[in-house]
Structures are given as structure tokens and as C-alpha cells.
Amino acid sequence: MIFVPFTGVDNHKQCVTFGAGLLFNETTESYKWLLESFLKAHKKQPKLVLTDQDPSMKAAISEVFTDSRHRLCMWHIMKKLPTKFLCFHLYRLLETCYKTLS
């Protein structure tokens, strides 16, 4: 089962869970169903959607949340860098640069 939390920030700058869902698989259709259910319950699209790099989720978000901005989570990107780069030293250099920019 895939756990999909809907978390946001309230007027007091506090993290709030608006909802959550459990999916059997990570298909575009499953994500579309969950996002449409969220939209039906809340009657409003989120301004920003922050996710990992799941292509099925990306496709579902662009179809259902047409007014939302979709961005990728930097934490997930940085966690995947070692598998993408053959040279570990280059990864460490990029990690250091990222930390100094944050």
C-alpha cells in the first residue's frame, strides 16, 4: 500500500495534515482518483504541490490540479544524486554547494 499524505501550512505557519490516502498501486489512474477525491472534499485546489519524481503522480497532478504549481522536493533529488553520478566526489561537491545556498 502506498501512503499519500496531504500536508500544508496554516495561517499560523504550522504544518497541518489536510488528508491522506492509501493506494494499491502507483498508476496515473490511482493518483487521479485520489486527487479528484481530495478536490471533491476540499472544493479548492492547492496553490503548490510538492512531490518526489514519480512520473505517474506528475501526470495526475497536471490533469487534476490544473491551477496548482507542481514542484519537486529537493530532499528527494539530493538523496538520488549518488545513484545518478558515478563520481562520489562530485556528489559531495554538489551537496556542499547546496548546503551553502540554503
The mean per-residue pLDDT over the stretch 12-34 comes to 94
* Buried/exposed code over 24-58 (b: 16+ C-beta within 10 A; e: otherwise): eeeebebbbebbeebeeeeeeebeebebeebeebb
Least confident interval from 6-15, 22-31, 61-70, 77-86: 77-86
What's the predicted TM-score (pTM) here?
0.73
* Mean pLDDT estimate for the chain: 87
Binned at pLDDT 50, 70 and 90, residue 93 comes out as confident
